[in-house]
Amino acid sequence: MAAITLSNRRIAILEDSPTNRERLSGMVKLCGGVPVPIDAPAPKLTGLKAFFASQHIQLVICDHHLSEKGDYAPYYGAQAVAESYRQGIGGILVTAFEKDDAELSLRRFRRHIPALIRSPEDFDRGKLQAALLQADREVREHSPSLERIPHRTIMTVQRVNPYGSNKIVKVMMSQWDVTQEVGFPLDLVPKELQAAVRPGSMLIAEVNIEAARQEDLFFDKFELPNADALEKARSLFDRP
Amino acid sequence: MAKTPTKQVQPPSSERLRFSTAILRLLGEELNPSPDQGILELIKNSYDADAKRCTVELKGVHIKGGSIVLTDDGIGMTSEEIRNGWLIVGDSMKSRSETSPSGRLLVGSKGLGRLGALRLGRKVEMTTRPKSEPGIQYRMEIDWAAFEQAKVVEEVELAVTREEAPMGTAHGTEIVISQLPTPWSKGDIKRLARVILLLRDPFAKNQGFQASLRAEEFVELEKLAHEGYFGECNYHLIATIHEDGRASTEVRSAGGKRLFVGKHADVSAEKANPIYEVPPLTFELWEFKLSAEAFAASVKATTVKHVRAWLEHFGGVRLYHRGVRVLPYGEQKNDWLDMNLRRSQHQELRPSTNNSLGCVRINDPAGVFQQKTDRLGFVESHALDELRRFTDEALDWMSRERRKEREQRKKAAIQRVHLEKKDAEKQMEAVIEKLPPTQRKEVAAAVKKMQSAHDAEVELKDETAQLYFTLGTVGTTAAAFAHQTKQPIRGIVADAKLLEEYLGDPQELALFRDESSKAVKRIHGEAKAIYSFSSVTLRLLEHEKRRSARHSVHQLIDETVELLTPYLEARETTVKRDYADGDLRIWCPRAAFEAIFTNLLTNSLQAFEARAKYGVTAGPRLIQIQTRVSGGMVAIRLEDNGPGIERLAIEEIWLPGKTTTDKGTGLGLAIVKDVIEELRGRVEAEAHGELGGASFTITLPLKT
């Protein structure tokens, strides 16, 4: 039962639209939690820890775009969830999921976003509750779900596309899906390796390849493959 | 007490690390990905041996068992040089800064390429006549079968025979690789012909070294190369990095006329224009307009078809290091300068690998650039990054100059047409004046009728152009506010789901009665927002707005601000207006003014979002619009307190596709500039105005 599972936990709601804050509060109540909607202006990123402690916050729900309406918060919701992760508080991100967000502002912080709720598709009691509990397990009990466990993965760079002032690297990972390209911002790759990121080159990174949706993938710990790894990869690709 | 046994110490045996014959296969074949690569390495050996000519001949290679014969007129090798150089794999006795006896910087590899080439056949015969021992030749034979039977490489003995050279033979080396295990296809030969031809810049003269392939394919290709359609190019870029790391550039026309000249500060785009940390080099590029119209319009000696075919073979930018080509730069499909990607953003003003040809020449006596062991490209390094930065920035510079030139041409053309029209009108009036009074009236009426028909035609064209500007504005607005317009729909769906949850359980409905009435109220609010947002697009597209008329500037500003009020309010932005006295009128279609202001206001709203993400909180969001009158012109300034223009040079903001925000299309300001120029006005931008954010000043002629 909802009310029992979330057991009146205090859940902070970071959302720039007052209407959406009210909407999310309603859903949190329905899930059995105690909503703590944060009015404008939200605390600075560096002040979140102290704020959460003062409000006895146990979980966090963040909208991704926090500065569409006004100067609610000078950061993305994804950054706030990642920050609360580092402070030991589980959080989920609510987003309308735009493809460009997935490959840029979401991907940058996806490693530390335990769960993502698509709005309005996933906006129901069951999904919200499951996401909050999963976030709590990953952050407090260090027990991530199978889809969130990273594996060392080799990938081939297909293209590097300019996007606004950023660059998106499109890669193929046969260990994840042989048909789908996945993108991430070039600045996720350490500076000293960026010159080697060109169409046709190969990279290794830690990726949660059990994730079903591409917006759930994260990339971490990039490295360039050595000759042995390249040989191995080539033999894999060359296999009929 | 127990007696300690005496240890028998034996002298250590002398052993050596030995290599299995399998290592030859690994080193020779796997490090040389293709046969032509191996042959290229042999040719490079000839170059290092000061040869003037090197010829490759293929004998019966179309069937199994054929052979390859390579002959050069270099300085040959003594028995000592064969033993301590040619036969040592992995050490070619060449240090990176060493030169050949005639002073050539060495280009050969560590002997691995040679090994790969020699293993192309089952047998190799090498005959060399050293320049230092006239009348003498050394001969040796390698039978690879002997290695297959041996366990380690050292077991196989290779005999070097010293003998008298046949009468009349000069110094040089001949290598015959025979009994090729697989036949060569026509495609293999074509590829070899291409790499041999391009090993040295085929378009440069007096190079002192010529490599050729005795094959029909090579002759054809060489002929094609010598046809050289350089005279047909539209732009010839010559960009140089000098000894001090500073750059200079110039662009010439096909006839050699200097079109643009750039200094270091014009090219080096980074802040403070840092020097290029790379050895001196030259980057040359010839760009062609490959359209039938362009060829028809100029006095071209050839057809677009011929040039296109020529570029198919030789297009792309190759890299010549110490005078010899480095693969794979500039190979077909190797767009190492990302020219095609950049062209996709600015179609007309950028070269691509399909419409241009070029080369980068680096002498590099200090050996800063190192080739990879497989000889495919340079090892990634700071110098290579700097080389790419330079080529990118040189191409950017050329694009900027071409844009400036195009705009000047456009302005001059408008001015010329305007003057011509005035002149024609005067002439017509003078002619009419000379007519007898009876005819004068009739002719004047006919001319007036013709003029009004012409004006109607022009107006129709203007309206069509205006429609494109309006549609472009609708597009930029839709892109900028996509999230905003979708948000209320998502809200309604979310509230419907909440209501479903409450209604599903009577107990919960009772518990959440207040919540459910709040949800219903929210749905009403969201529906109202959807109505406001959708009306913006419809109002922009109203037909009668595309007709030119005399309009009040202040009224136009007010109407556009009002039109965008739903977005301005949703983003908590205030617009402050400070107008000059009087009723200022301009001649324009209402839609043109809306296109200018909608794009500028959208630009500010996007900048505010970016402001928050940069971590700048500078109080409430403010846009200020001022009008001032001076000398028959009205100046309209729009500025905001956003983050200003960052990470983009002021002159670049007008370029289509250039944007500083993630969601920007990069089209808004391009439309603004085009529309203002259509209205014979001008626009200037400042990165940081009085309010701290971007500032735009538009000047338009007043219509009294």
Reduced 3-state DSSP string for B495-518: HHHHHHHHHHCHHHHHHCHHHHHH
Let me know whether B468 and B614 are in one domain: yes
- B contact residues 308-347, partner A, Cβ 8 Å cutoff: 336, 341, 345
Q: Does B278 touch chain A (CB under 8 A)?
A: no
**Residue B653: band (very low, low, confident or very high) from pLDDT cuts 50, 70, 90:** confident
Q: Which of B174, B68, B59 is nearest to B122 (CA)?
A: B68
**Residue B208: band (very low, low, confident or very high) from pLDDT cuts 50, 70, 90:** confident
N-term to C-term CA, chain A = 52
CA dist B538 and B122 (Å) reads: 78
CA dist B434 → A61, B423, B438, B446, B481 (Å)? 86, 17, 11, 16, 62
- Is residue B273 within 8 A of residue B281, CB to CB? The reply is no
CA dist B593 and B470 (Å) reads: 10
Give the DSSP H/E element, type plus range, for residue B695.
strand B695-701
* Of residues B336, B522, B661, nearest to A23 (C-beta): B522
Q: Which residues in chain B are closer than 8 Å to A163, comparing Cβ atoms?
A: 662
* Beta bridge partner(s), residue B57: B69, B214
Give a yes or no: residue B78 inside a domain. Answer: yes
Let me know whether B245 and B162 are in one domain: no
Q: Does B615 touch chain A (CB under 8 A)?
A: yes
Average pLDDT on A150-168 reads 86
Tell me if the bond preceding A120 is cis, omega within 30° of 0. yes
Task: Tell me the residue type at A68.
Answer: E
Helix, strand, coil tally for chain A in percent (to 5): 40, 25, 35
Residue B141 distance to chain A (closest CA, Å): 34
> Are the Cβ atoms of B660 and A196 closer than 8 angstroms?
no
CA dist B41 and B109 (Å) reads: 7
Minimal-distance CA residue of chain B relative to A24: B494
Q: Which residues in chain A are closer than 8 Å to B27, comparing Cβ atoms?
A: none
Average pLDDT on B29-40 reads 70
Asked whether the predicted pLDDT for residue B129 surpasses 80, the reply is yes
Q: Which of B564, B578, B553 is nearest to B691 (CA)?
A: B578
Asked whether the predicted pLDDT for residue B169 surpasses 80, the reply is yes
Let me know whether B280 and B317 are in one domain: yes
CA dist B701 and B704 (Å) reads: 9
- B contact residues 633-652, partner A, Cβ 8 Å cutoff: 647-648
DSSP assigned state of B89: T
Give a yes or no: residue B532 inside a domain. Answer: no
ipTM score above 0.90: no
Asked whether the predicted pLDDT for residue B293 surpasses 60, the reply is yes
- For B530, phi then psi, to 5°, come to -60, -40
> Are the Cβ atoms of A165 and B660 closer than 8 angstroms?
yes
- For B360, phi then psi, to 5°, come to -110, 125
Average pLDDT on B105-131 reads 83
Q: Which of A182, A164, A184 is nearest to A173 (CA)?
A: A182
Average pLDDT on A38-47 reads 91
- Is residue A55 within 8 A of residue A86, CB to CB? The reply is no
CA dist A118 and A120 (Å) reads: 6
DSSP assigned state of B141: E
**Residue B648: band (very low, low, confident or very high) from pLDDT cuts 50, 70, 90:** confident
- Is residue B112 within 8 A of residue B31, CB to CB? The reply is yes
- For B578, phi then psi, to 5°, come to -135, 100
Residue A110 distance to chain B (closest CA, Å): 18
Tokens 């495609």 appear where? B187
Tokens 């979330």 appear where? A6
DSSP helix/strand/coil, B123: strand
* Of residues A74, A123, A164, nearest to B617 (C-beta): A74
Q: What is the pLDDT of residue B623?
A: 95
CATH number of A2-144: 3.40.50.2300
DSSP helix/strand/coil, A208: coil
Q: What is the mean pLDDT of chain B?
A: 84
Asked whether the predicted pLDDT for residue B614 surpasses 60, the reply is no
Q: What is the pLDDT of residue B377?
A: 83
Asked whether the predicted pLDDT for residue B382 surpasses 70, the reply is yes
- Is residue B384 within 8 A of residue A195, CB to CB? The reply is yes
- Is residue B19 within 8 A of residue B152, CB to CB? The reply is yes
- Is residue B585 within 8 A of residue B702, CB to CB? The reply is yes
Q: What is the pLDDT of residue B29?
A: 61
Average pLDDT on B334-362 reads 81
**Residue B574: band (very low, low, confident or very high) from pLDDT cuts 50, 70, 90:** very high
Tokens 């905001």 appear where? B640
> Are the Cβ atoms of A26 and B518 closer than 8 angstroms?
yes
- For B407, phi then psi, to 5°, come to -65, -40
Q: Which of B529, B691, B698 is nearest to B611 (CA)?
A: B691
CA dist B613 and A73 (Å) reads: 8
Three-class secondary structure assignment of B614-625:
CCCCCCCEEEEE
Tokens 């209320």 appear where? B488
**How many CB atoms within 10 Å of residue B306?**
16
- Residues of chain B with pLDDT > 70, as a percent, come to 89
CATH of A148-238, one of 3.40.47.10, 3.40.50.300, 2.40.50.140, 3.40.50.2300: 2.40.50.140
Ordered DSSP codes for B202-229? TT-S--S-EEEEESHHHHHHHHHHHH-G
Tens of pLDDT, residues B529-563: 888 777 777 777 776 777 888 999 999 999 999 98
Tens of pLDDT, residues B130-144: 999 999 999 999 998
Let me know whether B280 and B184 are in one domain: no
Q: Does B208 touch chain A (CB under 8 A)?
A: no
Q: What is the pLDDT of residue B174?
A: 95
Tens of pLDDT, residues A181-221: 999 999 999 988 998 898 888 999 999 999 999 999 999 99
Let me know whether B261 and B121 are in one domain: no
CA dist A141 and B560 (Å) reads: 55
Q: Does B517 touch chain A (CB under 8 A)?
A: no
Burial B475-509 (b: 16+ CB within 10 A, else e): ebbeebbebbbebbbbbbbbbebbbebbeeeeebe
**Residue A3: band (very low, low, confident or very high) from pLDDT cuts 50, 70, 90:** very low
The strands making up B621-630's β-sheet, listed across from edge to edge, are B573-578, B621-630, B633-640, B695-701, B682-686
Give a yes or no: residue B485 inside a domain. Answer: no
Q: Which of A169, A159, A162, A152 is nearest to A209 (CA)?
A: A152
Asked whether the predicted pLDDT for residue B25 surpasses 90, the reply is no
Parts of chain A belonging to CATH 3.40.50.2300: 2-144
- Residues of chain B with pLDDT > 90, as a percent, come to 27
Domain of B245 in residue numbering reads as 228-403
Q: Please compute Rg for chain A using Cα positions.
A: 19
Interface residues from chain A to B (CB-CB < 8 Å): 17, 19-20, 22-23, 26-27, 29-30, 41, 65-76, 96, 98, 100, 104-105, 119-120, 123-125, 159-166, 195-196, 198
Give a yes or no: residue B490 inside a domain. Answer: no
What's the CATH number where B108 sits? 3.30.565.10
CA dist B562 and B585 (Å) reads: 19
Give a yes or no: residue B580 inside a domain. Answer: yes
Parts of chain A belonging to CATH 2.40.50.140: 148-238
Asked whether the predicted pLDDT for residue B637 surpasses 50, the reply is yes
> What total of structural domains would you count in chain B?
3
**Residue B627: band (very low, low, confident or very high) from pLDDT cuts 50, 70, 90:** very high
Which of B180, B199, B218 represents a domain boundary (last residue)? B199
Give a yes or no: residue B614 inside a domain. Answer: yes
Give the DSSP H/E element, type plus range, for residue A139.
helix A125-140
The strands making up B316-321's β-sheet, listed across from edge to edge, are B258-262, B247-252, B235-241, B281-287, B356-362, B316-321, B324-326
- Torsion, Cα B588 B594 B600 B605, to 10 degrees, reads 170
Tell me if the bond preceding B12 is cis, omega within 30° of 0. no
Q: Which residues in chain A are closer than 8 Å to B660, comparing Cβ atoms?
A: 164-165
Tens of pLDDT, residues A64-102: 988 777 778 888 899 999 999 999 999 999 987 666 678
> Are the Cβ atoms of B484 and A68 closer than 8 angstroms?
yes
Let me know whether B476 and B346 are in one domain: no
Give the DSSP H/E element, type plus range, for residue A92.
strand A90-95
Tens of pLDDT, residues B466-517: 778 888 887 777 777 776 778 888 899 999 989 988 888 888 888 888 889 9
CA dist B213 and B667 (Å) reads: 52
Asked whether the predicted pLDDT for residue B26 surpasses 60, the reply is yes
Let me know whether B165 and B50 are in one domain: yes
Helix residue ranges per DSSP H, B435-481: 437-480
Let me know whether B268 and B129 are in one domain: no
Q: Two tokens at A33?
A: 């939690």
> Are the Cβ atoms of B662 and A19 closer than 8 angstroms?
no
Q: Which of B582, B586, B686, B595 is nearest to B640 (CA)?
A: B686
CA dist B585 and B581 (Å) reads: 12
Q: Does B435 touch chain A (CB under 8 A)?
A: no
Which of B340, B373, B403 represents a domain boundary (last residue)? B403
Tokens 């020449």 appear where? B361
- Is residue B676 within 8 A of residue B597, CB to CB? The reply is no
Task: Tell me the residue type at A89.
Answer: I
Which of B403, B418, B445 represents a domain boundary (last residue)? B403
Note the Cα B26 to chain centre separation in Å: 37
Q: Which of B240, B188, B191, B201 is nearest to B357 (CA)?
A: B201
Asked whether the predicted pLDDT for residue B615 surpasses 60, the reply is no
Let me know whether B393 and B248 are in one domain: yes
DSSP helix/strand/coil, B188: helix
Give a yes or no: residue B493 inside a domain. Answer: no
Q: Does B526 touch chain A (CB under 8 A)?
A: yes
DSSP helix/strand/coil, B575: strand
Q: Burial level of B146, CB count in 10 A (0-12/13-18/19+)?
A: middle
Let me know whether B463 and B564 are in one domain: yes
Q: Two tokens at A175?
A: 């260990």
Q: What is the pLDDT of residue B347?
A: 57
Let me know whether B558 and B613 are in one domain: yes
- Dihedral sign (CA A34, A39, A44, A50): negative
β-strand pairing of B316-321 with B356-362:
parallel
Give a yes or no: residue B409 inside a domain. Answer: no
Let me know whether B171 and B56 are in one domain: yes
The strands making up A90-95's β-sheet, listed across from edge to edge, are A34-37, A10-14, A59-63, A90-95, A115-118
